[in-house]
Structure formats: structure tokens, C-alpha cells
Structure 1
Amino acid sequence: MDREYSGLEKRLFVVLIIASIIIVSGFAYLYLDGGKAPIESSLIGVIDIDGAIISVEETDLISDAINRAISNSSIKAVVIKIDSPGGFAHLVEQIYLDVLELKQHKPVVASVVTALSGGYYIAVAADLIVTHPSSMLGNIGVLGVAPESYVPSESNLDTGPYKVMGFSQLLFPFNISNVLENFAGAVEESRGPRLELSPSTLRRGMIYMGTEAIGVGLADEIGSLQKAAQHAAAEAGVETYTVVDVVSEGEAAGVSASHQNATGVPWREMTLATLNTLNPPPAIYYIYLPSTAYSFGNETAVSTADLNGEVLPATKKGSVVVDLSHGNRVPPEAFHLLSAELAMRGVVTGYGDTWDQVESSLSSAACLIVAAPTEPYTADEFQAVKEFVSEGRILLMFYDPASEFNDAQAPLWPINSLANRWGLAFARGYIYDEEDHYGLYRNIYVRDFENTTVTRGLECLVLFTATHLHSTDSDAAWSSGDAYSSSSERQGKYAPISVIDKGNGTAVAFGDITFIMEPYAYLEDNYDLIMNLVYRIAEIEVPDIEPEPEPEYNVTAPDLPVGTVKVYRETIDGEERDVLWTRSSENQTWVERPDSTTTYHFDEEGNLLSWESDGMEQVYDDPVPDLPYPLTEDLGWAYRVGYNLTLDDDPWRGVLQHHGQVVGFEYVEAGDNETYWCAKVSVVETDEIDRIEDVLTINSMELLWVSQEAGLVKAESDVTYYIDGDLVLEESRSLLMVSIDKGEG
């Protein structure tokens, strides 16, 4: 019995020991609060940074965890687990500096799932970076959103020109460059001799896969979180340890495991607009976002509609017409400086919302501006522009690859639909120069010029996110040979300006729009380029052209002599057929359709007396009045007339009620491409025919377009047929004149 009891006691003792170990391990987090655990143990802490770093509260959680890791002597080393694209610059820097402080006290190893931009900034604060083979690391760079323009108020007062904006728009690129140097400098200092990238390559913002990152010195070893913990323990001289989460239970650092952040949007679906809402510009980000995050809306610029459908007044100096009829994504204020300088020299600038407005103004214009169209030009539109230039005028074409100025769906085709016909093509992508630039790599200097009327006297331009042009012999300015095209990724000299002389006229193409706008227009020789355009435009004299007289708002009776023949195209419920109208005598007209011929008889005043058609005859009790010429605005009339209708020798009685009114005047293009000034007439008719056994009612609502030159040009009608009040048929009809021949009788 004693032996049996002794064995049981030993087994219970072993079970209690195992249970104690499990309890100690399970409640190891008690050490993090500074309390005393039952058994001393070495801990390796894990701090999880997951998702976009855009929340102050969540960033503070990470900072608090770092502070607890520093103060807790049981935590011998820390693994920073990173799965983040970065975030707001000030929050990223807060965590980076906290990790640097942590490293002064304990070994720190970074375990990377994704460490892009600000995520990598934090990683380089660690002693060692462990990554997965296909993890993404790098993207060293900065996103900066410039301050919005400020419109001052007389009631909201500020004490200095930058009190509201905070930054100069011109100097903001340099502010961004300084921030980049802080980031890149931290990488260079931390990675030291392990770094295999040149300073310029490091700053290009490239992303490297895990194995590639090790090859270029951005990471140290392939491994999992467990591998990172082993390295951390080894650096701390610990062989036996427990891995613990340093962040308080139930609270995630940065985002939840579903890669969501304070916005509730996964970081891969976030947009720059979302960030700017959370952090209004001016704003600095260490963050990587997919390219779709930078898309702007496709709204076209709001037109000033200066032309208002009218031709600009003809003067000795020609006007400037800005085309806004092709969905142009350029604000009218883009040409404020150009138009201001022109105005001081007697040249007026107008904007056309429709191509008709633009084309009608070309006769008195010296210059046509086409900027950032999103809809292509037709062959007829190009022909009008070509004739305009051949008469000694100027065409200015502007394109800008920046997303503010183009349609992401078809950015180049609309402008190239015009440029290609001049032997030019705007190129994809943008030009950049990593060695010689204004503040940022894609703000390029242009210092090599052809001697043209546009570029003469220039020594240096600054262009902002400019593209180049493909041409044979019309290049007028070039970048340095160190520049690259973002599209081809090839180094070379690129031409962002082309000048083509056609006869006495000139076509000029610019691969940038920003340079002509304030405040960018005042850098280097940008304003001199604008003035070259001003002088060239202002010297053009256009012939004095008498504007066409405003059409009179009345239509008199048409003069259609005997022998006049008109051909119409008639459509009934979608089916087309030709109709021949002939004035056969002073008092008679024929209307021939494929299946019938109708003869109309008139009195000396042109009033309708009767008609007959293939076994049918209708004779009116009183003459049916012609339209009450002259047709003037708001003229109205009505009449009621009875008639006898004979169909296959069966006599019927009918009554016609007619109401008409002139509802407007407009130009109508007929089928022969001729345009007629027409009175638009609304007609409502009710025709009731007593057929003895029933009553047939025909209701019609018509619009007639009547001109003085041709009479009826166009008609549209909806007709319904009722028998004893029951609807039996509906049809839609239209009529369009396709030709007229006024023969002599």
C-alpha cells in the first residue's frame, strides 16, 4: 500500500509541475505590466505594425508598447513585425525614432512581410532585417501634396503671405527633397557597408522582392517570424525564451489582421484623395499606394463661355480662341498670364464651348489654342484648323502627362488626332532627370534650343512633368542627355517643344502646361517664352470681316416657281422611303410615293381646295388656309373646316380642327448639307370622319420647319388612330428634304 501511494504521489507531483509550466507560459503577459510572475523567464517581445500608419491613436499604442518593452527587464530583445506600406510622415518618424531608442537598450530585429516606404523606414531602425523570399521592400521616397491656392478674405485676416498656405508652391519641391534626404540618409546610415545601391538608385523609389533586397543590401536574411525571434534571442545571449506580444491584449497596432485602418479601407484600395481628407494639404507621406490611387476624376474644365455662340469682334489684331469643345481638361485660368499680356496689346482671348463657336471665330482669330483634349478631332475639324494656319495664323497645342490634365482611359489619342496630321506625336510617359532638376526629378531643365520665333533668346526653362514629342525635323528645345523617358526607360535628349512652319503660319506643340501658369511661369526663362508667344500672336493682322447680319426672326412665303421639284426622305416607324414633291402648275402640286400619287388643288391665294389619290377624293367646304405668312415669333392661328371624303364611291363626312403656333427660329441642316433658317411651327390637328357604322378619329402632333428659300424643310409627327374612341394604331413619322431644284414653268 505504501509503495502504491508513493507512486501515485510522484505522478501527482509530476502533473503539478507540468501544469505550473503551462500556467506560467499562458500568463507570461503579466510580466508586461511589471507584476511578479511565479517563475522568472526570458522573453522575446513582438511588436506588430500592420497596415497603413495613419492613426495617431494606433501609433501611440505602438509607442506605448515600445516603452513597456524598454522598461520590462524580462524582455531581452524585440522583433518588430512589419506588414505596412507606410503612412503619414510624422507618424512613421515617431515610430522610427522610438525603435531607435529601443535599440539603445535591447537588440531589435525586423521581420518583414511587406515593408514599403514608411514601413521600410521603420525597418531600417532595427539591427537586422529578416524577410520572406517574395516580400516587397524599399520604395524609398516621399509623396508630397502641395498647398492649395489661397483666396484671401476681407473678414478673415492673416498676418503674412504664407500664414495660411504655410509653404511656397515654388519651393515646395525643395521641401520634399529635404524630407527625402532624411529618409535616404537614415537608410544609408543604418545599412552602412551592407548597402549595394548608389545614392541615386536608392532614391528612385524602386521596390525589391525579398531575395533581391538581400542582394542589394536592403535586407539581411530570408526567414520567418520564428527565425527573427531566434536572431533576437541570440543577440541578447538568451537560449531559452518565450515569445510574447507586447501590445496590450485585444488591441492591434496600426490595423487589424484584415489589413484595414482607421478608414475601414484596405490599404491597397486607399487613394491619395482619402489620405488628403484625413490629412489636408500641405501633406507629406512616406507611403506606397498602387498607381490607381492617384487617379483624378474625368471632369472637364468649366468653361468661361466667353464666345456665347458669337464671333469675336473683328479687329486689325486677331483674337485668341481657346477650344474647350473637346472635353478639354484645362482650366481657363491656365492661360491667364498669356491672355493678360495679349490684352495689353489689344488682343482679345475667348473660349468656345462648342466647335461651331470655335470655327465661326477662326476667321477673326490670330491664334487657336488646343490644350488637353479628351475627345478626338475629326477630319473636317482638322481641315478647318489647317486652313486657319495656312492663312498665316498660329496653332498652339498643349499636352501634359500629369493626371490633372488628361483622361487616363485615352490620354494621348485626342491630342494626337490633331498633332499626327502635322507630322507630330506626343509621347507616352514623362521626362525625368535624377541628376539635374528643379527640386524633384521630374521638374526638368531645358537648356538646348533651336533658333525659332518661339524659342529665340531662351537660355533655360523649367518644365514640370513634361512629355516629349516625336517629330522628324521640327524639334525646337531639348532636355539634357542625362534625362530619361518614364515610358521607354531610356536615357537621352528629349524634345518637349516642337515648332512647325506651314507657309506663313505656325503650329507649336508643348509637352507641358504647368510652365505657363503662375507661379511656375516666373522660373528661369519661362516668362520669356510666354512673351515670345505674345509678340508672335500680336503681330498678326487679320482682314476686317463684316460679321454676318443677324437673321430676321420671321419667314415670308416661299417663292417656289412652277417646275420646282423637291425630294424628301420620309421615315414611318423606322422604315425609309423617298417622296417626290412637284409644283406642276400655279394651282396644282403632285406628291409621289412608291405606292401612291396625290394631287393637291389650290386657289389663287394658295389655299387648299381639294385633293385626290388613287380612288380617294377629299373636297373641303371652305378653302383650308395656307400658313399665315410672314411667320413671326409667337404667332398663333386656328381654324375648323368640314369636308366630304369619297373612298371607292363611298361618301363620308369629316371635320378637321387645326391649331398652329410659331415656337421658335433655328437653323436646320437638310439632307443636301445645306443649312436653312427656319420658323419652327407646332401643329395640333384632330380629324374626325363619320363612316356611318363608326367614327374614325385621327390625332396628330407635328413640328414643322419652314424656310423662305425652300418652304417645308423638315417635319416630325406622332399620329394616333381611334375607332369609336378605341386606340387602333400609333405611328411616328419624319420628313427631311434632301434636294430642291427650282425649275421654271
Structure 2
Amino acid sequence: MADRNLAVGVALALALGVAALLIVLTQCMPKPAAEAPQPQKPKIVLVPVDFVLQSPQVGQLVSALTKLAQRNDVAGLVLVINSPGGTVSDTEALYTALRGINKTKYAVVTGLAASGAYYVAVAAERIYATPSSWVGSVGVIAVLWPEEYLYDIPDYIYTTGPLKYYGRDLTDYYNDIERVRLNFVEAVLRGRAGRIKTDPAVFETAAVFTADQAREMGLIDKIGGVFDAVDDMAKELGLKQYSVVYIGEAANASARQSGAAWRVSLSQLLNSTPFPMFYLYPAALQLDVRTDGRRNATLPTYPTDRPYVVLDMAHGNMVPRSFVEVLRAELAARGRVLVAASSENQLTTLLGNATALVVVNPTAPFSRDAVAAVVNATARGVRVAYFYDMRASAIVTISGVSYVAPYSAFAAFDPLLMYFNMSGLRAVYNFTAGGDNYLRNWQFVAVEPRGNWSLLRGVTRLVLFSPSAVATNAPHRLTARGYVFGYGEGNYTVATQTGNFLFIGSVRSFTPYFITQGDNWQFLRNVVNWLTEPREIKKLAKPPTSGVIYVSG
């Protein structure tokens, strides 16, 4: 028994000794090195730009891009663009942010990169476009209300300087539009340096181009999609392993993802920027500017002992208040008063003893009786000046909301014009951009009159704002060399006279600011002289029974 206990004790002692030895050996053995952390895969970040470029979306995107610019694991950015552009300030904010990021940047157009969206695209080193994409529209849309600059500052407003109320002179605003356009063109030429394969003058038309056309012109580099751009970027950067993530995931931010609104209302845009200038594709703009439907009050019987000229307001006429202001002043200098006819019945009555009739931008046709009244008046010696601005008359108002039609077809079928063998066409443009002077803008057509027409006395050069062309064989015609959409380059009649009926294809050209260009004012004075010059006018026995003295404001 004692021997067994001794054996157990010896075995236990040996076991404890072996265990102790193992512990000592374990402590003395070198510890294996800790496993090094695996480096993160470089990231190629997709940046969707698929919304109208305006606040606050652009601000959120710029904030996310700023975070990415500081990340070492971000190898490059791929802009995925499907946008019509946006405000000038937001477009340039996104463009400058991208230019300042020291990362490789590619852009892929997946539908539309128009105007401001293409401005953003040229911040990238390479631009791709899917086969059915559209690219271009290098230009500016501006919303200006010239009428605001034509009246004095209200007497209850005090300012410390003459331009505090207006901000800038109207002509300065027009020149600013050209300056903003040039900024866009310069960005394109800088971003696409050495790759533009066409005359840069093509940008002056602000056209959009198919992906194939854009590639041929050098506006993009390759027809392809997002994966083509990602693969090419990885090869350029020598990336064997990498991950592709969206910007929201990479920046841990609420950057705008897909599905943003593509169309935007004009009022919303105007509320989003202090300057109403936009790098925007027109199809994305919803015009919702409301019009003022106030009418002039009807006054008692007009005193027939004062000579007057009738202003037609019976046919939905779109008459700029500023034009009325100029016309009234010129008539007053010749002892005439301007009277507005707000209905065809009133028009017929007032023509009975009128000196002349002025028709401005009608948007509703003259009835058969109204045409007969005007024709009979011209036969008696009453003279008619018909001012027509094709662009202004293309605005259609429905339920108090104004919409702009592609062009106005009204003048082509106006019964009054047709009686005098005239048919309106479309607006005439010079089709060149303006450089640093808005008067060289494509909307301003310079005319150098020729001939012995009395209305051209003292007139050597007119500068007309988008004048309307008219087809006619009348003996007296003023022609302008320009471009008409659908008809091309050519000489177009923009003013013409047959007997006592005169057509003038412009209204805005004879409003403040515009009227001081060239000899526009002298031409209008000649027109007013023609309307009011002494001549025999057969009177009607029945005097007018009512009328409206037109008071602007």
C-alpha cells in the first residue's frame, strides 16, 4: 500500500514538474507578430448629377465632394450626368468645386448634358456619352423685366444712390448676359483644350448635339457608359483591385442620388438665385409667370374738338407700357392725344373722327366688321401703323398663366394683314453671339436702309430687336439681312407700306434703352410724322360716343 502511494506521489510530482516546465517554456518562446491590417481597396466614386442645378442640392453635393477630396482611399470620381443645367451661380459653384479636387475625374452623360450640366462635365479629364445622349446648349437664359427700369423710383422709397433701387443699369444687365456666356465658352475651351475639332463659333448657336456629333466635334471623348469610364479609369490609375461606390456611401453624407426632378418652374428658379440668369436647357423650364389682367377704365364721351390717335386694345393686344409712354410723348409733341379702344364696337366708333390708328401685337384676329371699319377708315385718309413683335405675340395666356409658343402663327393668318396682301413669317436673327457687347447678340439685327421712302429720312442705321418678317409685294419695303428659323439666311422685309397702311415688324426696338440704338428714334419720329401730317380726312357725321384716354402706369 505504501509502495502504491509512493508511486502515485512520484507520478503527480512528475506531472506537475512537466506542467511547470511547459509554462516556463511557453513564456520564454517568442510571441508571433500581430497580423498587419489589410489596406483598404481604392475607391472609384460615382457622383450622380441628375437634377436641375440649384440650391440646396448643389450645396449638399459640394459638401460631400469636399469630404471626398480629403480621403486617401478615393482614387477617382465618375460624374454620372443627366441634367438640363440650372442657375448660373450653382453651376459655377459645382464646376469650381470639381476643378479644385485633386482627383482623377471622368464624366459620363447618360441622357442629357445641356447648358450648365455640360459646363460641369468639362471639369472632368474625359467625357463619355451613351449613344442616345444629347450634349451642348452652350449659352445663357436670362429673365429680365425691362419695364422695371422705365419708371421712377416710388416717392416712398429712399435710396442712397441712383442705382441702389435697380442694382444696375438695364444695358449693363444685357452686357452681363454676354459676359456670363463668355465665361461658359472659356470654360469649354479650357476643359477641352486641344480636343475641339470644330470652329468655336458653333457654340454661339447654343445648339445641342447627338453623342456622335459631339464626339466628332470634340465635345466628348468616347461613346460609352459608366462601366466603360470606370474600367478606363482603373487602367489609367493602374488599379488591380478596387471598389465602386456611390458618393453617399463614400462620403457618409446625404448627397443627391438618382431620381431628382428634371423640370423646374420659372418662379422656383427665380426664388433660388439673386441673379435671374441660367445655364439651362429651355425644355426643362416651366413658364408660370402670371400676367396682370387689369383693364383701363371707360371714360365719359371723349371731347371731339381735340385731335386724337386710336390705340387698338380690342384684340388681346400685348402692348408694353414703355412703348405707350414713348408713343404718347411723340404724339403730344404734335398736338395729338392717344385714345384706347377696348372693344371692336368702340374701335369702329372712334375711327369715325380719328387721325390715325395704331395696332400693337394683337393676339386675337380682327372680325370681318372690324376689318371693314379699318379699311373704310384708310379709304377716308386715316393712316394705320401696325407694330408686330413676333416673339411677344407668341405668349399665350391661359387661366391667367402665360405660356410661350415656339412661334406665333397668328400674323400669318391675320385677316387685317391679309387684306393688305401681307403675311407674317417669323422673327429675324443675325445668328451670331455678342462677344462683350449685347448689341452684337444674335437677337439684334442691324439694318442699313436704302431708297427714297419718306420714313427713312435721316435714318442710316437701325438696330432692331428680333424684328418680325412679313411677306408682301408692297412698293415700299425695309429689308434686313438675317436668319429665319425654317427659312434660312436671306433678305427679309421687316417694314412695309401700302397706301395708308404701314407694317413695322418690331415693338421692343422703340422702347426706352432700345430706342436710343442706331437711328431707331428717328425712324419712330418719321412714323409719327406720317401718322399726323396734315391731309384731308373725310369725317363721319356721327361723333364717337365713348373712349378711353390711355394712361400708362
| Shift in alpha-carbon separation, 1:278–1:320, aligned structure 2, 3 A | same
Tell me the SS of whatever aligns to 1:509: strand
8 Å Cα contact 1:399-1:426 kept in structure 2: no
Corresponding letter in the other structure for 1:83: N
Per the normalisation by structure 2, the TM-score is 0.82
1:223-266 deviation per Cα after TM superposition (whole angstroms, max 9, x unaligned): 22111112222222222211122335785545x52222xxxxxx
Aligned to 1:389: 378
Aligned to 1:192: 193
Aligned to 1:221: 222
Matched, 1:286 2:296: no
8 Å Cα contact 1:303-1:332 kept in structure 2: no
Tell me the SS of whatever aligns to 1:468: strand
Q: What is the deviation of 1:70?
A: 2.2
Aligned to 1:378: 367
8 Å Cα contact 2:48-2:258 kept in structure 1: no
Q: Percent of pairs identical after alignment? A: 24
Aligned to 2:104: 107
Tell me the SS of whatever aligns to 1:358: helix
8 Å Cα contact 2:311-2:340 kept in structure 1: yes
8 Å Cα contact 2:428-2:445 kept in structure 1: no
Matched, 1:515 2:513: no
Aligned to 2:10: none
CA distance in 1, matches of 2:137, 2:77: 25
1:8-48 deviation per Cα after TM superposition (whole angstroms, max 9, x unaligned): xxxxxxxxxxxxxxxxxxxxxxxxxxxx9853322212222
Aligned to 2:244: 243
Corresponding letter in the other structure for 2:316: G
Tell me the SS of whatever aligns to 1:462: strand
8 Å Cα contact 2:84-2:284 kept in structure 1: no
The one of 135, 147, 150 aligned to 1:137: 135
CA distance in 2, matches of 1:305, 1:405: 27
Corresponding letter in the other structure for 1:402: R
Corresponding letter in the other structure for 1:134: S
1:470-520 deviation per Cα after TM superposition (whole angstroms, max 9, x unaligned): 11144532223xx210232x111222111212xxxx211111111122232
Q: What is the deviation of 1:333?
A: 4.5
CA distance in 2, matches of 1:377, 1:238: 73
Corresponding letter in the other structure for 1:141: G
8 Å Cα contact 2:384-2:531 kept in structure 1: no
Q: What is the deviation of 1:296?
A: 5.8
CA distance in 2, matches of 1:66, 1:391: 75
1:392-451 deviation per Cα after TM superposition (whole angstroms, max 9, x unaligned): 221111211224664367933367221111011111344333167714211221223443
Q: What is the deviation of 1:295?
A: 7.0
CA distance in 2, matches of 1:253, 1:338: 55
Uncovered stretches (5+) of structure 2, i.e. residues with no partner? 1-35, 397-403, 546-553
The one of 304, 310, 317 aligned to 1:313: 304
Q: What is the deviation of 1:187?
A: 0.8
Tell me the SS of whatever aligns to 2:356: strand
Tell me the SS of whatever aligns to 2:384: strand
Aligned to 1:258: 259
Aligned to 1:570: none
Matched, 1:273 2:250: no
CA distance in 2, matches of 1:521, 1:170: 12
Q: What is the deviation of 1:80?
A: 1.6
Tell me the SS of whatever aligns to 1:164: coil
Aligned to 1:47: 47
Q: What is the deviation of 1:373?
A: 1.4
Aligned to 1:304: 296
| Shift in alpha-carbon separation, 1:121–1:292, aligned structure 2, 3 A | closer
1:95-115 deviation per Cα after TM superposition (whole angstroms, max 9, x unaligned): 11111112xx22111111121
CA distance in 1, matches of 2:341, 2:37: 80
8 Å Cα contact 1:49-1:83 kept in structure 2: yes
Corresponding letter in the other structure for 2:104: P
CA distance in 2, matches of 1:549, 1:491: 47
Q: CA RMSD in A?
A: 2.8
Corresponding letter in the other structure for 1:283: P
| Shift in alpha-carbon separation, 1:303–1:525, aligned structure 2, 3 A | farther
Q: What is the deviation of 1:196?
A: 2.1
CA distance in 2, matches of 1:174, 1:185: 17
CA distance in 2, matches of 1:328, 1:37: 78
8 Å Cα contact 1:396-1:507 kept in structure 2: yes
8 Å Cα contact 1:46-1:244 kept in structure 2: yes
CA distance in 2, matches of 1:117, 1:382: 46
| Shift in alpha-carbon separation, 1:296–1:474, aligned structure 2, 3 A | farther
Corresponding letter in the other structure for 1:420: M
Higher alpha-carbon deviation: 318-327 or 283-292: 283-292
8 Å Cα contact 1:173-1:439 kept in structure 2: no
CA distance in 2, matches of 1:422, 1:96: 55
Corresponding letter in the other structure for 2:441: L
| Shift in alpha-carbon separation, 1:147–1:538, aligned structure 2, 3 A | closer
Corresponding letter in the other structure for 2:258: A
The 5 A counterparts of 1:116-515 are 116-147=114-145, 149=148, 151-247=152-248, 253-254=255-256, 256-260=257-261, 267-268=262-263, 270-279=264-273, 282-290=275-283, 293-294=286-287, 302-305=294-297, 308=299, 310-311=301-302, 313-315=304-306, 318-403=307-392, 406-407=395-396, 411-413=408-410, 416-434=414-432, 438-474=439-475, 476-480=477-481, 483-488=482-487, 490-501=488-499, 506-515=500-509
Tell me the SS of whatever aligns to 1:529: helix
CA distance in 2, matches of 1:309, 1:37: 95
8 Å Cα contact 2:317-2:363 kept in structure 1: yes
Tell me the SS of whatever aligns to 1:520: coil
1:537-570 deviation per Cα after TM superposition (whole angstroms, max 9, x unaligned): 23235467776598xxxxxxxxxxxxxxxxxxxx
| Shift in alpha-carbon separation, 1:427–1:440, aligned structure 2, 3 A | same
CA distance in 1, matches of 2:62, 2:284: 31
Aligned to 1:538: 532
Corresponding letter in the other structure for 1:136: W
CA distance in 1, matches of 2:160, 2:409: 45
Tell me the SS of whatever aligns to 2:497: strand
Matched, 1:85 2:99: no
Aligned residues between the structures: 493
| Shift in alpha-carbon separation, 1:143–1:274, aligned structure 2, 3 A | same
CA distance in 2, matches of 1:448, 1:167: 33
Tell me the SS of whatever aligns to 2:277: strand
Q: What is the deviation of 1:182?
A: 0.9
Corresponding letter in the other structure for 2:467: A
Corresponding letter in the other structure for 1:115: A
CA distance in 2, matches of 1:339, 1:155: 26
8 Å Cα contact 1:460-1:525 kept in structure 2: yes
| Shift in alpha-carbon separation, 1:59–1:546, aligned structure 2, 3 A | same
8 Å Cα contact 2:445-2:464 kept in structure 1: yes
CA distance in 1, matches of 2:296, 2:42: 73
CA distance in 2, matches of 1:234, 1:164: 57
| Shift in alpha-carbon separation, 1:424–1:147, aligned structure 2, 3 A | closer
Over alpha carbons, which structure has the higher Rg? 1
Instruction: Write 1 or 2 for the structure with the bigger share of helix.
Output: 2
CA distance in 1, matches of 2:47, 2:286: 29
Q: What is the deviation of 1:147?
A: 4.9
1:26-84 deviation per Cα after TM superposition (whole angstroms, max 9, x unaligned): xxxxxxxxxx98533222122222210111x3222222232222211111222122121
CA distance in 2, matches of 1:303, 1:524: 34
Corresponding letter in the other structure for 1:110: A
Corresponding letter in the other structure for 1:518: P
Corresponding letter in the other structure for 1:370: V
Tell me the SS of whatever aligns to 1:197: coil
1:307-343 deviation per Cα after TM superposition (whole angstroms, max 9, x unaligned): x47455144xx41001111121224542211211211
| Shift in alpha-carbon separation, 1:179–1:548, aligned structure 2, 3 A | closer
Per the normalisation by structure 1, the TM-score is 0.62
Uncovered stretches (5+) of structure 1, i.e. residues with no partner? 1-35, 261-266, 551-745
